[in-house]
Amino acid sequence: MARRQLEEEHDNPDRWLVSYADFMTLLFAFFVVMYAISAVNEGKYKVLSDALGSAFGFAGEQNKDARKSKSGTPLSKAHVSEVVHQESSQMTDIANNILQALGSLVKEGKVRVTQTARGVNVEINASLLFAPGDAKLTEESRKALQAIAAVLKNQRNDLEIDGYTDDVPISNPLFPSNWELSAVRAGSVAREFVASGVAENRLMVVGYGSNKPIMPNDTVEGRARNRRVEVVILSSLPEASREISMTTK
């Protein structure tokens, strides 16, 4: 009788609860995975938060997850998004001011202004700036560059000035190749900016020669478009977070 009673007690009628619990666990895991897929990437926000903290003066405690500002408050996602939005708005204002200052040249297609995650790009056709095969600025180009400098001299952003040529070889005592021509042309623009009040320590000059064409070099029009100087007003957001910032607007 004792053995029979033991067997009856071992046969638990509530065993279905185990299967039910397993099902609920799997269902919970499913929803966790779905949420993780749809949620904002925390890793990207961490990179952006740290980068913004370094760029805009926020200090974070070492070996702690919470990023903090100078006042000790956490650098939240909302704060990060606000900083990114302010930076984007400022870059848009710079682009609009340059467009307004160079309105007639933009209409003629000699100047193009675009805004990207990297900053504001001002593409100036070489025909406006220089005589063929030369790196001395024309009088008309000085006025255009002075108008750009007037917009930029009171801004904090660094500037990268890039020189480009077409693929037609050049070789003379001044410019042994397109490398030298493109670099000296970019340097001429930089010197004009400095003369117009832009701080020298904000400038960087790069000569690309015939590399990175934006049009095929097999037509007259394409080669003319490739002969250019680009003034890039760099975003103040750290480079590692510029692309990320485009997803936080």
Output the six-digit token pair for 194.
């400095």
Report pLDDT for 54: 57
Report pLDDT for 9: 53
Place of tokens 């995650």: 117
Report pLDDT for 70: 44
Report pLDDT for 28: 72
Query: What backbone torsions phi and psi does residue 123 show, to the nearest 5 degrees?
Result: -95, 120
Q: For 211-229, what is each residue's pLDDT tens digit?
A: 999 999 999 999 999 999 9
- The angle formed by the CA atoms of residues 173, 139 and 193, to the nearest 5 degrees, is 85
Which residues of the chain are under the pLDDT cut of 70? Answer: 1-23, 31-80, 238-249
Give bridge partners of residue 122 from the DSSP assignment. Answer: 113, 231
Contact 125, 226 (CB under 8 A): no
Report d(CA 14, CA 129) in Å as an integer: 87
Output the six-digit token pair for 51.
């980068």
Q: For 44-60, what is each residue's pLDDT tens digit?
A: 555 556 655 655 555 44
Shortest CA distance to 146 belongs to which of 234, 235, 231, 236? 231
DSSP 201: G
Q: What is the pTM of this model?
A: 0.68
Report pLDDT for 249: 43
3-state secondary structure 121-139: EEEEEHHHHECCCCCCECH
Output the six-digit token pair for 87.
């930076």
Report pLDDT for 84: 78
Report pLDDT for 166: 96
Contact 98, 122 (CB under 8 A): yes
Contact 58, 70 (CB under 8 A): yes
